[in-house]
Chains A and B, each alone.
Chain A
Amino acid sequence: MCKDCAKSDLALLEPVFKEFEGDNHALVTILQRAQEIYGYLPTDVIYRIAERQGVSPAKVLGVATFYSQFRLKPVGKNLILLCKGTACHVNGADTIAKALQDELGIEDGGTTADGLFSLKEVACLGCCSLSPVMMINETAYGSLTPQKARDIVRKIAAEGAAS
């Protein structure tokens, strides 16, 4: 394993391994649990899961990179999920994406330098009637305009600075 890899507290994984002991179909679920624990999937965690599941690290990384839910890098304090579903597209999701990228100075999938925001475009949040929609930390913000999206992000940033 590489020397630069994160040093994660791997003991936190033990209860997960115990719960799925003997289940060789649980890799996706184990990765989901690991991401809940660490916020993302650090390299040493991937190696440990491979070792305990008796599969190669390549197989684990292959699964982790196949599904959009998994992250290999830490995310910002506030995760913005911008819906790019069909209804949102028709109602101008592209203009919201541009406004957010401009406001935060990051691309889709990026995290701001201060670690305050991460931006991720997702296929559909299922709130089509409120389109265009974004979700920040599980709260949905609907009927967005570029300006409204900027204002929401600014407000959260201000609150973050105050606290």
Chain B
Amino acid sequence: MRIVVGEGSCGLAAGAGRVHEALTKLGADVGITGCIGMCYLEPVVDLYDGERGTGNGEPGTLAARLVRVQEKDAERVFNAAKSGDLAGVEDLKISPADEEFLAKQTRIALRHCGIIDPESIDDYRAADGYKAIAKILGVGGGQGMTPEQVIEEIKISGLAGRGGAGFPTWFKWNAARNAKGDEKYLICNADEGDPGAFMDRAVIESDPHSLIEGMLIAAYAIGASQAFVYVRAEYPLAIVRLEKAIKDATAANLLGDNILGTGFSCRLRIKAGAGAFVCGEETALIESLEGSRGMPRLKPPFPAEKGYTDKPSNINNVETFANVAWIILNGGAAFSAMGTETSKGTKVFALTGKIRRGGLVEVPMGLTLRDVIFGIGGGVRDGRKFKAVQMGGPSGGCIPESLLDTLIDYKALGATGAIMGSGGMVVMDDSTCMVNMARFFLDFTAKESCGKCVPCRIGTKRLHETLVRITEGNGREGDVELLEELCKGIKDGALCGLGQTAPNPVLTTIRYFRDEYDAHIREKRCPAHECAALKTFSIDAAKCKGCTACAKKCPAGAISGSLKNPHAIDAAKCVKCGACAATCRFGAVVVG
């Protein structure tokens, strides 16, 4: 059997590299693949029967998927693969419940992730790779497609920008195609800055050639011969794999001059970002590409007219490009057959937070949030109660349980006050304070505001200060109204998307969790027991066994009591660190 280790960033962080090394030391010929999306089960090791490259890029037929494999398991994995007898690794096999995590998905953008070797162009080609660009260019039979026909096919598919805004992809391509100028640029936005979303990183790490092929098709459609991928510097592995893919594609004459002898040329370069959330905004990204501070420009003119070095430019995100080759091969109608009236195809979500099964999930539009969070993700972990799901990161909002049957659809999600966004889905349970959540996001946007326009620069700072005050127990009557007024001013006045959407986390938490704001302000109480300044600690004398463990741990010497007698906490001395509650084995420390 062939051994294939899942080596995306998550897998490696969980120890896949050490497992790989241990297997190699034992003499195994170990293959690699990207991220299958089951982050909660990493490291994942697949055992395949049969020969490599059997037509779909798979290294054979999957015989067993082993999960949470550690270095110490290497020897029995090696022996099982060698003998073909899986009895010794039975306990590592994925459970039927966990298999459903994959079975319930529809994978298009992630179609090769966790299956093919991301560092092998041959694997990608075996999986119908580079057939879409060949079809368009009329290489290997067929008449080819004109740029207009390509744009029409994308129009039929209904593909919309997956980076967050959901703007129709064909429209942007068409505008760039029709813009005057013989030098045009294609740019891929891989500056995935939304904390809590990592699908773009997974696509580049696991299937870099599908990004390249999608970009080639777009470049052909708009008439660009120069292309950039702007990648976050925090994604070193993605950059390494993309560099290799570009090198291999260039060697195979799929990039560069006179591609496949057709006269079509496209050069692709990587530019590493340097860490600025605002660079996800397309005009800020262009400024950054030009080597300047990434501050957004006033629109119009839009990048389609004046973009990189003032030349017509088109910018799409990674996930958008990852769908393109599939659409060309399978037809736009096959893509638009999935989804709702206003949202077509599939969408990838990064399911994280207090979720039982966290990872990357690709589903057709039109499922409900409940289908994804409970049906696929298994609901909230540790037996706690679901409170909200945060969607769209710092530009999005928190959706409460009563709206869990909302459809995954740009319009329906927008109506809740949140947004589809790039696909971050952070699940929260009853231990998460919603006021503190709003404070967290405003801390982020206030730091990331580029400072160009006053409403965003100063407005986010004032929002943050007010939220800090409330979480520290110094909230005042009228603070909620003050927040709302500030939010409106920022929404109306900010220059770019970052500022215009920055109030969303505040507005949605006020809309759905007003009672928590009121509890903080009026009763100086945090219902989720999260805000440290509002916590109280006391000892339930009936449960306390007098073991002295808490008194020993207390850094402030606030706990008194003798052995085998109930202890007590001196509230005046308590620094509210929570060490006592974490130490007590009898549940005697009451956190209020």
A-B contact pairs, 27 of them (CB 8 A): A24-B291, A25-B291, A25-B309, A27-B292, A29-B291, A32-B233, A62-B293, A66-B293, A66-B294, A66-B450, A67-B274, A69-B275, A86-B196, A87-B358, A90-B427, A90-B432, A91-B353, A124-B196, A124-B198, A126-B198, A128-B39, A128-B358, A129-B358, A131-B352, A133-B13, A138-B236, A140-B13
A-B contact count (CB 8 A): 124
In the complex, the answer to whether A90 meets B13 with C-beta atoms within 8 Å is no
Q: Is the CB of B13 within 8 A of A130?
A: yes
Q: Is the CB of A29 within 8 A of B271?
A: yes
Given A25-B289, A86-B353, A142-B14, A126 contacting B201 (CB threshold 8 A) = yes
Whether B9 and A86, one on each chain, are in contact in the complex, defined by CB atoms closer than 8 angstroms, is: no
Q: Which of A85, A95, A130, A138 has the most CB of B within 10 A?
A: A85
Inter-subunit contact A123/B293 (CB<8 Å) = no
- B: contact size bracket: 35 or more
Per the bound structure, the CA–CA distance linking A91 and B384 in Å amounts to 13
Q: Which of B196, B293, B294, B450 contacts A128 (CB 8 A)?
A: B196
Query: Is residue A152 contacting chain B, with contact meaning CB distance below 8 A?
Result: no
* Least CB distance, B272 to chain A, in whole angstroms: 6
B39/A129 in contact, CB under 8 A: yes
A122 near B234 with CB under 8 A, answer yes
Q: Is A125 touching B234 in the complex (CB atoms < 8 A)?
A: yes
| B10 and A130 contacting across the interface, CB-CB below 8 Å | yes
- Give which listed residue, A25, A90, A131, contacts B290 with CB less than 8 A: A25
Interface string of A143-160 (1 = CB under 8 A from B): 000000000000000000
- Find residues 334-357 in chain B having any chain A CB closer than 8 Å to their own CB: 350, 352-354
> A131 to B424, alpha carbons, bound, how many Å?
15
Asked if A63 CB lies within 8 Å of chain B CBs, one says yes
* A40 contacts B by Cβ under 8 Å: no
> Whole-angstrom distance between the alpha carbons of A45 and B428 in the complex?
46
Contacts A25-B291, A87-B353, A128-B39 known; 20 new A-B pairs at CB < 8 A: A25-B290, A28-B291, A29-B271, A63-B292, A66-B276, A69-B233, A84-B195, A84-B444, A86-B352, A86-B353, A86-B426, A86-B441, A90-B432, A95-B578, A123-B195, A123-B277, A124-B198, A126-B198, A126-B201, A129-B42
Bin chain A's interface residue count.
Answer: 35 or more
Tell whether, in the assembled complex, residue A87 and residue B196 are in contact, meaning their CB atoms are under 8 Å apart: yes
B40 within 8 A of A: yes
Tell me the minimal C-beta distance from B55 to chain A in angstroms. Answer: 32
What 1/0 flags go to A7-29 for Cβ under 8 Å of B? 00000000000000000111111
Q: Is A137 an interface residue (CB 8 A)?
A: no
Spell out B's residues near A (CB within 8 Å): 9-10, 12-14, 39-40, 42, 192-196, 198, 201, 233-236, 271-277, 288-294, 309, 350, 352-354, 358-359, 390, 393, 424, 426-428, 432, 437, 440-441, 444, 448, 450, 577-578
Across the A-B interface, give the 4 residue pairs with the lowest CB-CB distance, nearest first: A129-B39, A67-B274, A140-B13, A27-B291
Given A124-B195, A127-B9, A142-B14: A67 in contact with B276 (beta carbons within 8 A): yes
Asked if A85 and B195 make an inter-chain contact with CB atoms under 8 angstroms apart, the answer reads: yes
Among B198, B432, B450, the one with the most A-chain Cβ atoms within 10 Å of its Cβ is B198
> CA A69 – CA B293 in complex, angstroms?
13
A68 at the interface (CB under 8 A from B): yes
- Cα–Cα, bound, A75→B275 (Å): 17
A32's contact among B39, B274, B289, B358, by CB below 8 Å, is which? B274
B61 CB to nearest chain A CB (Å): 28
A124 and B10 CA atoms in complex are apart in Å by 13
- Give chain B residues whose Cβ lies under 8 Å from the Cβ of A128: 39, 196, 198, 350, 352-353, 358
Please name all residues of chain B whose beta carbon is closer than 8 Å to the beta carbon of A98 when the two chains form the complex.
577
- Please indicate the chain A residues that have their CB under 8 angstroms from the CB of B194 in the complex: 124
CB distance from A16 to the nearest CB of B (A): 14
Inter-chain contacts of B428 with A (CB < 8 A): 90
